[in-house]
Amino acid sequence: DADVTQTPRNRITKTGKRIMLECSQTKGHDRMYWYRQDPGLGLRLIYYSFDVKDINKGEISDGYSVSRQAQAKFSLSLESAIPNQTALYFCATSDPKLASTDTQYFGPGTRLTVL
């Protein structure tokens, strides 16, 4: 987990505020992902990036945007936070050279609460 870091780890904000969650990795992986996890549900993909110039929407991208500033950095923004975006957010990376397995390595998560 130390190879993939997320900041902040916890954040409480109000409805309508703009929030940025940051992810950094030292694994040298090209692929990065943002997921959210809600109680009783599986992780759901928000956005993914296969390299700095390749960004793709996932299953639940509405209300979110991302920026891939460098190979090592992938940020998730909530332009105008709403209460149902309260969740645990995970960043993950994977190595395309192992595309047949594509194991993802997850960060420790950011717990976001929108009041």
d(CA 54, CA 36) in angstroms, rounded, equals: 20
Does 24 bind another protein (CB under 8 A)? Our answer is no
By CB under 8 A, what part of segment 57-86 binds another protein?
none
Q: Report yes or no: 14 and 81 within 8 Å, Cβ to Cβ.
A: yes
d(CA 57, CA 1) in angstroms, rounded, equals: 25
Strand duo 4-7 + 44-51: pairing: unpaired
Site string for another protein, 30-59 (x = CB under 8 A): ----------xxxxxx--x-----------
Does 2 bind another protein (CB under 8 A)? Our answer is no
Helix (H) or strand (E) holding 88: strand 87-94
With respect to another protein, which residue has the nearer C-beta, 48 or 64?
48
Instruction: Report, in Å, the least distance between residue 109 CB and another protein.
Output: 6
How many H-runs (helices) and E-runs (strands) does the chain carry? 0, 11
Instruction: Report, in Å, the least distance between residue 114 CB and another protein.
Output: 20
Q: Report yes or no: 36 and 87 within 8 Å, Cβ to Cβ.
A: yes
Among 64, 68, 109, 114, binds another protein (CB under 8 A): 109
Binding site for another protein (CB under 8 A): 1, 4, 40-45, 48, 90, 92, 99-109
